[in-house]
Amino acid sequence: MQFHHHGYVSGDPRVQPSAGVGIDRPAELPEEVDVLIVGTGPAGMLAAAQLSQFPNVTTRIVERRPGRLAIGQADGIQARSVETFQAFGFAERIISEAYAITEMAFWKPDVNDPSRIVRTARTPDDPAGISEFPHLIVNQARVLDYFAEYMANAPTRMTPDYGYEFQGLDVGGEGEYPVAVTLLHTAGPNEGQERVVRAKYVVGADGARSKVRQAIGCTLAGDAANHAWGVMDALAVTDFPDIRTKCAIQSGEGGSILLIPREGGHLFRMYVDLGEVDPNDKGAVRNTTIEEIIGKANEILHPYTLDVRNVAWHSVYEVGHRLTDRFDDVLPEDRGTRTPRVFITGDACHTHSAKAGQGMNVSMQDGFNIAWKLGHVLEGRSPESLLSTYSEERQVVAKNLIDFDKEWSSMMAKKPEEFEDPSELEDFYVRTAEFPAGFMTQYAPSLVIGEADRQELAAGFPVGKRFRSAPVVRVADTNPVHLGHHATADGRWRIYVFADAALPGTGSATDKLADWFAGSPESPLAATPEGADLDAWFDVKVIYQQPHTAVDIGVVPAVFKPQVGPFKLTDYEKVYATDPAVDIFELRGLDRSGAVVVVRPDQYVANVLPLTATAELGAFFAPLLKPRQTVAAAAR
């Protein structure tokens, strides 16, 4: 964490100085806002947290509840989400309170006595070691609390506006705030009264029954599996030996349980198979009592018993897989004629079973994707055409999620005798581990994703996929660090310069690239606003191939050591060397001739280029930036 560059900080360094709209922020919801987010679920809160880092953007997030969520339905946090939490500064704290999944156990009928279940396999949760972060289980409410804290400490001092329910919107307005949103007070002295807020953009994060989705004419299309599950968060006494291990349990009678231990050492969640549902059931299965769910769980667990002492929450749901036709308000026939004004995220766009633990995780990436793009457009960094990439990118991700979840949930509902291979379920779990961990997303070439023409220069950083961190050594203080962990959710692009074999100050290709960054009007840094820090929009880092003892930081080009803050202090934390224990060039398949890896604000690799490809690098950023100015003076 970096601080003191604006003066000595004696208090909590996570509390950033208020700035822009955060200075004297009105407590009441204003009449006009830049972005109105509807719903304080995971997608909405992450979007608000990201936008809280844009001091000149007025963002408000409304919620129909009168206060914070107390009990969240979602609880699975994939490693990709923990990477995201690292960018928002609370990965370490949430890991310490969460349950970490390291293994999954599979239970099936005893071949000698099918009325009994026996453990048949154990599989590691991340067999390939795809992330340095763990797979966690923690209450959704706590995730939202951390985002709320981050927002409140941000320059904009953002807090949710509780007690407002979305009623409808009109996108046809004129002027600077063309979207008129009608809200209903659901709490407080004005309860029952309506009011209108005008916005430049609206983000609907209001769940599976989204009124924002309805208002822009989107429909959920898909099917139901006609299979019901009872779910409960329970405290119990049991002789089942794996009660604190994630388990897939299949009984001889065909019923199944997905068992997920919860944070705190005692609580656990069970998804209990209630069987097939008659298509003419008309929702009657949802009246299944908690006593019936517990009874069914005991049948499946035989010969073990479950004595439930307390139920914190329970529900009954039918598996359904549905996806909207679009994620914004632009009709297919209008694509290219106007840019979107209203966006939908999370469950408003895609619904599926809860057993793969994807809902909250994919929803948060929806919020991350749209939020930085809105911030860039509203601050004047990028053209409005950037916003059209949201629906293009996230709809494909949601479709892949639903296809995966259909296969996983159908396998969980199978009877043991219906599998061709007895180990089919656990084999599928291991084979597809990268998907539920959140790492299969790969965005296609677009305005913000380049072609992978030079992928061989950085094989371990696939274009379109998330930037996978790796160990390096920070030259200035000799500290071993993870390269990706220094990338905070501040809305900046990252440009990682993996140096050629030469040392700095020798006129190498890396030195010449640094000169181009600092002095060329085609450099993306030339778009930096006058008076702003050189790294205000672009965080440019260099990683040398040599150990840190061989790198003379005094001759490292100035663009990698920008002067920041009102005192123009040198930032020494952008210069890295290889870790002697783990060479990042070997680990990530980096060419020894060097490479430039461009990473978006939401941590996805946008381009891979040679050190000499300045024209291509400039051309990639040209459509994303406002007219440029030379920043050579600022680099010196």
pLDDT tens figures, 1-13: 888 888 888 899 9
The model scores a pTM over 0.85? yes
Q: How far is CA 401 from the centre of its chain?
A: 14
Q: Are residues 335 and 406 in the same domain?
A: yes
Answer yes or no: is 13 within a domain: no
Q: Are residues 498 and 574 in the same domain?
A: yes
- Residue 582 is predicted with a pLDDT of 96
CB-based contacts of 514-520 (< 8 A; 24+ apart in sequence) = 514/542, 514/557, 514/558, 514/559, 514/560, 515/557, 516/614, 517/559, 517/635, 518/557, 518/558, 518/559, 518/631, 518/632, 518/635, 518/636, 519/630, 519/631, 519/632, 519/635, 520/614, 520/618, 520/630
Which neighbouring-strand residues pair with 563? 570
Answer yes or no: is 388 within a domain: yes
Strands 538-544 and 575-577: parallel
Q: Are residues 328 and 359 in the same domain?
A: yes
Q: What percent of the chain has pLDDT over 90?
A: 75
Residue 424 pLDDT level (bands cut at 50, 70, 90): confident
Please determine, for residue 630, whether its predicted confidence score (pLDDT) is greater than 50: no
Domain boundary among 431, 464, 480: 431
Answer yes or no: is 80 within a domain: no
User: With the CA atoms of 299, 303, 304 and 307 taken in that order, what torsion angle do they form, in degrees rounded to the nearest 10?
Assistant: 50
- Residue 253 is predicted with a pLDDT of 76
Q: Are residues 132 and 152 in the same domain?
A: no
Tell me whether residue 590 is exposed, middle or buried, using C-beta atoms within 10 angstroms of its C-beta: 0 to 12, 13 to 18, 19 or more.
buried
Q: Are residues 527 and 418 in the same domain?
A: no
Q: Are residues 56 and 144 in the same domain?
A: yes
Number of structural domains (the chain) is 3
Answer yes or no: is 11 within a domain: no
Mean pLDDT of the 182-206 span = 96
| Residue-averaged pLDDT of the chain | 91
Please determine, for residue 420, whether its predicted confidence score (pLDDT) is greater than 80: no
Answer yes or no: is 199 within a domain: yes
Q: Are residues 164 and 268 in the same domain?
A: no
Domain boundary among 398, 431, 464: 431
Q: Are residues 215 and 241 in the same domain?
A: no
Answer yes or no: is 489 within a domain: yes
Q: Are residues 124 and 198 in the same domain?
A: no
Residue 119 pLDDT level (bands cut at 50, 70, 90): very high
Answer yes or no: is 269 within a domain: yes
- Residue 433 is predicted with a pLDDT of 65
Question: Of 308, 228, 222, whose CA–CA distance to 271 is shortest?
Answer: 228
Domain boundary among 318, 345, 361: 318
CATH number of 163's domain: 3.50.50.60
Q: Are residues 521 and 425 in the same domain?
A: no
Mean pLDDT of the 526-534 span = 94
CATH number of 600's domain: 3.40.30.20
Q: Are residues 160 and 246 in the same domain?
A: no
Mean pLDDT of the 483-510 span = 97
Which of 220-224, 444-448, 466-470 is the least confident region? Answer: 220-224
CATH number of 306's domain: 3.30.9.10
Q: Are residues 361 and 378 in the same domain?
A: yes
Answer yes or no: is 5 within a domain: no
- Residue 435 is predicted with a pLDDT of 64
Q: What is the residue range of 571's domain?
A: 455-635
Phi, psi angle pair for 413, to nearest 5°: -90, -10
- Residue 634 is predicted with a pLDDT of 35
